[in-house]
Amino acid sequence: MMNTEPTRLVVVAVTFLFCFGHFATEADAQKSPNIVIIVADDLGWKDVGYHGGDIATPNLDRLASEGVRLENWHVAPLCSPTRAGLMTGRWPIRYGMGESVITPWRKWGLPTTERTIADLLATAGYARRGAVGKWHIGHYKTELLPLNRGFTFFYGLYNGNFDYFTHKREGQLDWHRNFETAHDEGYATDLIGREAAKFIDDSPTDKPFFLYVPFNAPHTPFHAKKVDIAKYAKVKNEKRRIYSAMVDSMDQAIGKILKALERKKIADDTFVLFFSDNGGTSIGNNKPWRGNKGSVYEGGVRTPALVRWPAGGIKGGGKVDGMMGMIDVYPTLKRLAGVKSKDRNRIDGIDVLDIMRGKKKAPKRDWFSYIAQGRPEQAALCDGTWKLVVTKGSALDVKLDGSSKTPQTELFRLDRDPAESKNLLKDHPDVAATMLKRLQAFRRLKIDNIPDFREGRKGFKAPKDWKIK
């Protein structure tokens, strides 16, 4: 009788090799991509070429043609709140970061009870996690600095702005490499682009990395290199001329980052996301939206945004009109990186990966905006169709019966009136009433005992070289 055992062993062996090869291929296909998040500072909606702007942004335009335009991307009205929401996936009002920016003297910052994107990605095998540029979510104690918030490398400034050439704020050098003072000379935007590209060059190709590049451009002060200013000699307004040069310079730096990805041959396997932290100032061009930075109107909270990840199906130059924004980055990256662990805090954002891919429509949802810096509170709620705006006071004090002129309340049909020009409050009191309840519930999330952004300013002296102890 013929012995069939060897035959069985061969079949088992072949089956094992086939299955193992299949699973290995599947695992390779699901390998976590590199992640690069680029954030501009105070960039206007129409200050990019692909929106018809008059500033040269060839690298952003290229991202728009190769990736996907996110045309309904929302952020907070100010720098620090947007950065906090990006890092945590949560409304900044929940933990005291929604009201105002972190000033040089302010003893406040992103609470250490909040898990950051860098913390999250550390659990998913992202051994290299770099932050290159403007931090601005807390620096008064070392626990708030990047290397203690999940990042393994930091190069840049702690404060919201500084001199682009001397790198000084409040008379002291605010330029750092990890915990040490950096004495590198040059225009800040160039240095950020150079260091970000170097981070990519130095990263191994067999393991994914996370790179966060928050530029301080084109935030004030209006500083630019002469060679870039010369390109816009025909612009009559001096501030606008310099601002244009600053945006141009930032686009050049972004080009260096994109070239580094190509040089490393990892562009297809890298998830690149770009957006601005808020709308432009009065020097920027936010058309067709109403308002600008510091406002809860669309001009303050709706910004240019792009995403590209060819290997992940995000490509082709299309656009997505679904409402999404800064708090959605955390849950999207969580899925992208394959993190299964539960978050200790409630996440407000949603996973928008399939929406970016065009595989799913954006769900109906509420997007809240809030600011309380330097003037009476402002708050807004947009559901994709309607938008309720409260200015000149707290939403908690609104009376829709008309018995009070302040706070000022407006209702817009945003899908038909994106410029927020016609107040429909009197025509649709029922819509306003239901939206006000939701907006007031959001406003009640605000925690108490948050130091004012001006507190500590009188008599403040910056530490030597902004060395934080």
- Per-residue pLDDT band at 6 (split at 50, 70, 90): very low
Residue with tokens 């706070």: 407
Domains of the chain by residue range: 32-356, 375-443
Average pLDDT for the chain: 93
Contact 249, 189 (CB under 8 A): yes
Q: Which fold has domain 32-356?
A: Alkaline Phosphatase, subunit A (3.40.720)
Give residue 252's pLDDT: 98
Q: Which amino acid, residue 305?
A: A
Tens digit of each residue's pLDDT (9 = 90 or more) over 418-463: 999 999 999 999 999 999 999 999 999 999 999 999 999 999 999 9
- List the one residue out of 419, 410, 339, 406 whose CA is nearest residue 377: 406
- List the one residue out of 386, 398, 379, 391 whose CA is nearest residue 445: 379
Does pLDDT of 29 surpass 60? no
- List the one residue out of 319, 275, 324 whose CA is nearest residue 72: 324
Beta bridge partners, 411, equal 388
Contact 98, 370 (CB under 8 A): yes
Catalytic residue among 79, 139, 167, 382: 79
Tens digit of each residue's pLDDT (9 = 90 or more) over 117-141: 999 999 999 999 999 999 999 999 9
Does pLDDT of 74 surpass 90? yes
Contact 141, 463 (CB under 8 A): no
Of all helices (H) and strands (E), which one includes residue 262? helix 238-263
Give residue 404's pLDDT: 73
| Catalytic site includes residue 136 | yes
The pair phi, psi for residue 390, each rounded to 5°, is -120, 125
In the three-class reduction of DSSP (H, G, I as helix; E, B as strand; rest coil), residue 319 is classed as strand
Does pLDDT of 98 surpass 50? yes
In the chain, % helix, strand, coil (3-state, to 5) comes to 35, 15, 50
- Residue 288 token pair: 């067709």
Does pLDDT of 250 surpass 60? yes
Does pLDDT of 24 surpass 70? no
Does pLDDT of 28 surpass 60? no
Residues whose CB falls within 8 Å of the CB of residue 40, separated by 6 or more in sequence, listed in order: 215, 217, 218, 247, 250, 274, 275, 276, 277, 303, 304
- Per-residue pLDDT band at 373 (split at 50, 70, 90): very high
Strands 305-308 and 270-276: antiparallel
Residue with tokens 């918030």: 149
CA distance 287 to 277: 17
Task: Please classify residue 111 by burial: count the beta carbons closer than 10 Å to its beta carbon, then call 0-12 exposed, 13-18 middle and 19+ buried.
Answer: middle
Catalytic residue among 51, 136, 139, 223: 136
Omega of the bond prior to 221 within 30 degrees of 0, cis? yes
Q: Which residues of 418-456 are buried (b: 16+ CB within 10 A; e: fewer)?
A: eebeeebbeeeeebbeebbeebbebbebbeeebeebeeb
Q: What percent of the chain has pLDDT over 90?
A: 91
User: 375-443: which CATH number, 3.30.1120.10, 3.40.50.720, 3.40.190.10, 2.30.110.10?
Assistant: 3.30.1120.10
CA distance 101 to 275: 18
Contact 425, 411 (CB under 8 A): yes
Beta bridge partners, 209, equal 128
Give residue 467's pLDDT: 97
